[in-house]
Amino acid sequence: MGSMHIDHPNTNLPTAYPRIAPQAPHTSDITGWANRLASGFIRHAVALLLSIMLFFVLLPFLAPLFMALEWYGPGYVIYQLYAPFCHQLPQRSWFLFGENLTYTLDEISQVYSYTNAWELRSFVGTPEMGWKVAWSDRMISFYMMTPVFGLFYTLRRRMPKPIPFRLLLVTILPLFLDGTTHALNDLISGVAGNGFRDTNAWLALLTNQAFPGFYAGDHFGTFNWWMRLLTGILAAWGLAAFFFPWLDQLLRGEVTLQAKPSASRS
């Protein structure tokens, strides 16, 4: 009887498998990943910018809150951080957690002695009067309302076109004039309260004293208070109506340019 030869099933396999060296990521993969990362950043750049702006403009409101909670250290830190961005004069600031929203120079001088504007701006309040917001009222209306208007524009289904640049200048001009005249008033008259923008005697003359109690001072309801509020809001709207639609167009163009190479490769 003859012998039967059976081949082993693994006879034809190599005795050892070759070692496969790890391959480095392909350059196109790295480029694609970088493009996707950049595209994602561009798509969310407006939201990121608005988040940073809102944090920056809302943080000054924590200063009076911390002071009211007797967390004086963090409160004073916020006042110091925002001092380079705002004069923080108390007669042109809002006070929270106290009797009134605003106070006159006479009311402030009854509890705090000062001889110049640098000393006056250091007054942050008392437990009875409340505590000063680290923004002046003009900065509240301008700085805070700019990202608020920007948020309104970005939440719309379709971003409008930017307003003309000339219209932007028109919206900023009242703020510039009001701020410049106040600066000149303080430079000439200091904090005595008798300057041409402190008394607004020129306006009283033009209106024949038709509105008693409206002309002098910076407290709530006066001409100066309304001008700082309204010119700040107008400038904030103009800046938001120009900048955020322009930024949206710019970013959309970048997204479109990045999408074209991907479409051509597919």
Residue with tokens 């402030």: 108
Is the pLDDT at 1 greater than 60, yes or no?
Answer: no
Each domain of the chain, given as residue ranges in start order, spans 43-253
Residues 191-236 have pLDDT tens digits of 888 999 999 999 999 999 999 999 999 999 999 999 999 999 999 9
Is the pLDDT at 117 greater than 90, yes or no?
Answer: no
Residues 37-79 have pLDDT tens digits of 555 556 678 888 999 999 999 999 999 999 999 999 999 999 9
| pLDDT on residue 23 | 55
| pLDDT on residue 3 | 53
Residue with tokens 């004293």: 209
pTM > 0.85? no
| Residues in CB range of 166: below 8 A, 6 or more apart | none
| Strand ranges for the chain from DSSP E | 93-96, 125-126, 130-136
Q: How far is CA 145 from CA 20, 40, 134, 218, 237, in A?
A: 61, 27, 16, 20, 7
